[in-house]
Amino acid sequence: MRTQNYSRKRQAIYELLLSTREHPNAEWIYNNLKSDYPDLSLGTVYRNLKLLEENGSIKSVAVVNGCERYDAMTSPHSHFVCNKCGRVIDVFLKNEFSEFTEKVRVEGAKEIESFSLIYYGLCDKC
Amino acid sequence: MRTQNYSRKRQAIYELLLSTREHPNAEWIYNNLKSDYPDLSLGTVYRNLKLLEENGSIKSVAVVNGCERYDAMTSPHSHFVCNKCGRVIDVFLKNEFSEFTEKVRVEGAKEIESFSLIYYGLCDKC
DNA sequence: TTCGTTGCAAACATTTTGCAGTTTC
DNA sequence: GAAACTGCAAAATGTTTGCAACGAA
């Protein structure tokens, strides 16, 4: 992990991500912090999202309409993405699933580090 | 499906995708067709990839380093993405997996249309 | 004082689009 | 001839980066 000082804005970004189940993108975070941090810049949001991801503090869970979506809940779970409105919803699967995926061997892969399971469809608001 | 005429270039893009297991992006396709179609333009590749995807002829299987990667094998299967070189490898899972995922219900989802399972790690060439 | 952090704007990379000319049917 | 298709270049989009000022330790 890269050396880091304390940063009030990074902290705010992280806490905002902890407080929501929106799985937001950089711009949503920027807009939601602007009132508390009027001099915040979008570049800072991007920089800190990257830092937090390198940290392991947050994860990128999906790319929806070309935008990276982030989640501060790092315990393993899956997601549902609405094809119409782009909403991202948490999906918690039973143990049988992780048991199943842990057995998977991929020809051509030296080492499997992680996996991502994303469901797509229409959400109940669309 | 939008009305379509025959197009030699679209056909070539589709056949190239059928012939490879590279899961290429637009630029790879462009570079590989340039010699046969010297007047091909990258815009045409993008336009036709979108049309072919709307058709259901091809699928976007992953976004690797910001690039959409396509596959003309539309029968359900998963993928492995190398975190270092970006290589995309087919992963065929046994039936028990689809049986499992078909049972999944997502709270907040009206209808599940598809899902995508992607493994990440290091490939045997990295 | 050192080095991480930031705002700002410019740069970047991928993808989309407007237009005028070409091809398909 | 109508409508789809294309090359080209410009535009749009999301993200990254260089730099000088600022903040933390």
Query: Which CATH number do you get for residue A26?
Result: 1.10.10.10
Q: How far is the CA of A88 from the C1' of D21 (A)?
A: 39
Query: Which CATH number do you get for residue A103?
Result: 3.30.1490.190
Residues A23 and A65 in one domain: yes
3-state SS class at B101: helix
For residues A85-101, average pLDDT: 84
8 Å CB contact between B91 and A106: yes
Confidence of residue A96 (pLDDT cuts 50, 70, 90): low
E-assigned strand segments in B1-126: 59-64, 67-71, 78-82, 88-91, 109-123
Residues B91 and B58 in one domain: no
pLDDT in tens, B6-36: 999 999 999 999 999 999 999 999 999 999 9
Distance between CA atoms of residues A52 and B95, nearest Å: 38
Residues A34 and A92 in one domain: no
Give ∠ CA B38-B44-B50 in degrees, rounded to 5. Answer: 145
Residues B50 and B104 in one domain: no
The burial class, CB within 10 Å (0-12 / 13-18 / 19+), for A10 is buried
8 Å CB contact between B88 and B67: no
Pick A1 or A41 by higher pLDDT. A41
What pLDDT is attached to residue A103? 74
Partners of B119 in the beta sheet? Answer: A115, B80
What pLDDT is attached to residue A93? 86
Task: Give the end of a domain, one of A48, A72, A96.
Answer: A72
Task: Give the end of a domain, one of A72, A87, A113.
Answer: A72
Q: By CA distance, what is A79's nearest residue in B?
A: B106
The burial class, CB within 10 Å (0-12 / 13-18 / 19+), for B20 is middle
Q: How far is the CA of B104 from the C1' of C11 (A)?
A: 45
Which DSSP symbol is given to A1? -
What pLDDT is attached to residue B44? 98
The burial class, CB within 10 Å (0-12 / 13-18 / 19+), for A2 is exposed
Our count of domains for chain A comes to 2
Residues A10 and A64 in one domain: yes
Distance between CA atoms of residues B122 and B120, nearest Å: 7
8 Å CB contact between B71 and B24: no
Residues A68 and A98 in one domain: no
If chain B, 126 residues long, is cut into consecutive pieces of 10 residues, what is the mean pLDDT of each piece? Answer: 93 98 98 97 98 97 98 95 97 77 86 94 96
Residues A126 and A84 in one domain: yes
Task: Give the end of a domain, one of A72, A88, A103.
Answer: A72
Structural domain including A107 reads: 75-126
Strand C contact set, beta carbon < 7 A: A 2-5, 7-10, 37, 39-44, 47-48, 51, 66; B 5-8, 25-27, 42-43, 46-47, 50, 63, 65-68
8 Å CB contact between B71 and B19: no
